[in-house]
Amino acid sequence: MARNRKAKGIWRILRWLGMAVAALIAIPLVLTPIYLFVPPVSVPMFERYVTGRPVVREWRSIEDISDRLKASVILSEDGQFCRHLGVDIGALRDEVERYMAGEDARGASTITMQVARNLFLWNRQSVVRKALEVPLALYIDLILPKKRIMEIYLNIAEWGPEGQFGVAAGAERAFGIEPQNLDWRTATLLVTALPNPMLRQPARPSRGMLRIAGIVEQRVQQYGDRAACVGENGRLAL
């Protein structure tokens, strides 16, 4: 009798775990096609809503965002964005080899993988999270066109320390301008804030941020055609 109760208890736990896993799989499967048309709310945004902290986000169509910013983000964050299928296999392979050798991680997250993380996962670094990002990014790239992926990224990226999400809120906080009016200086400085928007202030850039902004501008001037997939009719007005 006790053995039967124990077996039933184990089966009940396994059943609940199976249901939880199925739900985790179903959520991105169902929501990703919906995000073709509906502006998504990211996990960090949702966490702030739940805890009563402010969220500032004004959705902007990708056509209403400076081409300079779009190209700067791609050349800074994911130079192969227009070419890969959501995952940069070469960069990911190098990352795995560094991990197996016990070396420090360098990232290897594509823009699509960052979108997957912000929409469906958590921010704390872990091997499990990285492993989940890969199939999610492949699925997102399969369902959503590149322009829509970039549009979502630019509208859910955290761009300020007081709950500013998306480029409209970031540009307004830093420079008091609309995202379609960003020039080279403001666009590249906004990009330098992306790795750490809690500390990096585009309106008061450090020497390091100014140096990085200059490098990003040079990259875009030289390789801007690599970002053409997010431009109107496959072209960017740089």
Can you list the domains of the chain with their CATH numbers?
A: 61-230 (1.10.3810.10)
Q: For residue 105, give the 3-state DSSP assignment.
A: coil
With a cut of 80, say whether residue 12 has pLDDT above it.
Answer: no
Percent over 90 (pLDDT), the chain = 68
Q: What is the pLDDT of residue 165?
A: 97
**DSSP 8-state code for residue 180:** G
CB 166 within 8 A of CB 55: no
Give the pLDDT mean for 26-44: 94
- For residues 120-134, give the mean pLDDT: 85
Task: Measure the CA–CA gap between 186 and 123, rounded to whole angstroms.
Answer: 27
- Residue at 104: amino acid letter: D
DSSP states of 190-215: HHHHTT-TTT--TTS--HHHHHHHHH
pLDDT given at position 7: 57
Q: pLDDT at residue 176 above 90? A: yes
| C-beta of residue 56 within 8 angstroms of C-beta of residue 44 | no
Question: What mean pLDDT is reported for the chain?
Answer: 88
* Burial (Cβ within 10 Å: 0-12, 13-18, ≥19) of residue 102: exposed
Give, in degrees to the nearest 5, the angle at Cα 68 between 62 and 69. 60
13-27, 77-91, 110-124, 183-197: which range is least confident on average? 13-27
Mean pLDDT calculated for residue range 52-57 = 95
- DSSP designation for 83: T
Lowest mean pLDDT among 36-40, 88-92, 159-163, 175-179: 88-92
pLDDT band at 106 (very low <50, low <70, confident <90, very high): low
